[in-house]
Amino acid sequence: MRILVTGGAGYIGSHVVKLLGEQGHEIVVFDNLSTGHAWAVLHGKLIAGDLADKPLLDLVIREFRPDTVLHFAASIKVEESVREPLVYFYNNVVNTMNLLDSMVKHGVKNLIYSSTAAVYGIPDRMPVDESAPLCPINPYGSSKVMGEAIMRDLAVSSDFKFVALRYFNVAGADPDGQLGQVYRDATHLIARSIKTATGEYPYLTIFGDNYPTPDGTCIRDYIHVSDLASAHLSALEYLRADGESKVFNCGYGYGFSVRDVVETVKTVSGVDFKVKMADRRAGDPPALIADSSKLRSLTGWTPRYGDLSYIVNSALEWELLLKRKLAA
């Protein structure tokens, strides 16, 4: 298949491009490299462009004529979205409209969309399934709810079809050591804890220990990035087999508190790093755990890397590899 991957130079997109390339698909990555890296595109052709550049996007879609688009490109930080909501609505909503507009214009019918657990806000029931109300509590989550809503309406009015994958907390790195998370300033819990264990930060801050959870810190369902990548291949197969437009949660169905994660990073790394308590971070729900039974039953998705120590260890190995490369 011919597959256009927006944001394919980023953390999750690059892992998916790796799997798609290994399966022999023809790939074009469209990425403005704002947080992504050209070296992370292991297969296909990289076009360095911004989704806000409609003429360029149009040209790429017209010439490449993809069978399917995988849309990862977005701004992704919950806390930043609270401070800069317009940045999030422009990049995640307006630019998604640019993409959809161009797809419609050139008759491209299938899209796999990177949605998020943040669409649920603070769910009543846990694990949360896809039928739960969408009540985001931060602009990032709202922007993804809007993206899904636009796709749903488009699918009603035309033969456009989509799968929205609602990712829970993505972590870890490629088991082959070729890819992983690389950000100038890591904000995600596992990445930040690992960088603290390896000496990049003097201590880790825990944001809030007065949540209504057993140890008072937030609980998340951490999914290994390679399991999430394989969920995209399952979704692609599902659409190819003429499946209807659907929304699927992507997680394991169990969660860990911030304290659990910190203890696991300490054990796996062997470093007893310093931890400081701080106030709650804006926009954080107390707990998010996925019910992904729909994804498993309708697509046959079978995750392989659901052990937290394995996830942390893969992220740690990647971080140590990066440090060795930088030092060389």
Ligand X SMILES: O=c1ccn([C@@H]2O[C@H](COP(=O)(O)OP(=O)(O)O[C@H]3O[C@H](CO)[C@@H](O)[C@H](O)[C@H]3O)[C@@H](O)[C@H]2O)c(=O)[nH]1
Ligand Y SMILES: NC(=O)c1ccc[n+]([C@@H]2O[C@H](COP(=O)([O-])OP(=O)(O)OC[C@H]3O[C@@H](n4cnc5c(N)ncnc54)[C@H](O)[C@@H]3O)[C@@H](O)[C@H]2O)c1
Distance of alpha carbon 185 from alpha carbon 191, whole angstroms: 10
Task: Examine the residue annotation and report whether 140 is marked as an active-site residue of this protein.
Answer: yes
Got the DSSP string for 179-212? Answer: -----SS--SHHHHHHHHHTTSSSEEEEE-S-SS
Among 76, 100, 151, 262, binds ligand Y (CB under 6 A): 76
Among 11, 30, 64, 168, binds ligand X (CB under 6 A): 168
Among 225, 258, 312, 315, binds ligand X (CB under 6 A): 258
Among 130, 227, 284, 291, binds ligand X (CB under 6 A): 284
187 binds ligand X (CB under 6 A): yes
Give the active site residue among 140, 167, 222, 252. 140
281 binds ligand X (CB under 6 A): yes
Alpha helices in 53-160 (DSSP H): 54-64, 78-83, 85-89, 95-105, 139-157
Got the DSSP string for 288-300? Answer: E-B--HHHHHHH-
10 binds ligand Y (CB under 6 A): yes
20 binds ligand Y (CB under 6 A): no
Q: Which stretch binds ligand Y (CB under 6 A): 69-77, 99-107, 230-238, 266-274?
A: 69-77
Q: Are 283 and 137 in contact (CB under 8 A)?
A: yes
Question: How many C-beta neighbours within 10 Å does residue 89 have?
Answer: 18
Distance of alpha carbon 65 from alpha carbon 196, whole angstroms: 45
118 binds ligand X (CB under 6 A): yes
Distance of alpha carbon 78 from alpha carbon 81, whole angstroms: 5
Q: Are 147 and 96 in contact (CB under 8 A)?
A: yes
189 binds ligand X (CB under 6 A): yes
Q: How far is the CB of 234 from ligand X (least distance, A)?
A: 19
Q: Which does 34 bind (CB under 5 to 8 A by kind): ligand X, ligand Y, none?
A: ligand Y
Q: Which residues are catalytic?
A: 140
Q: Interface residues with ligand X (CB under 6 A)? A: 76-78, 116-118, 168-169, 187-189, 192, 204-207, 218, 220, 258, 281, 284, 288
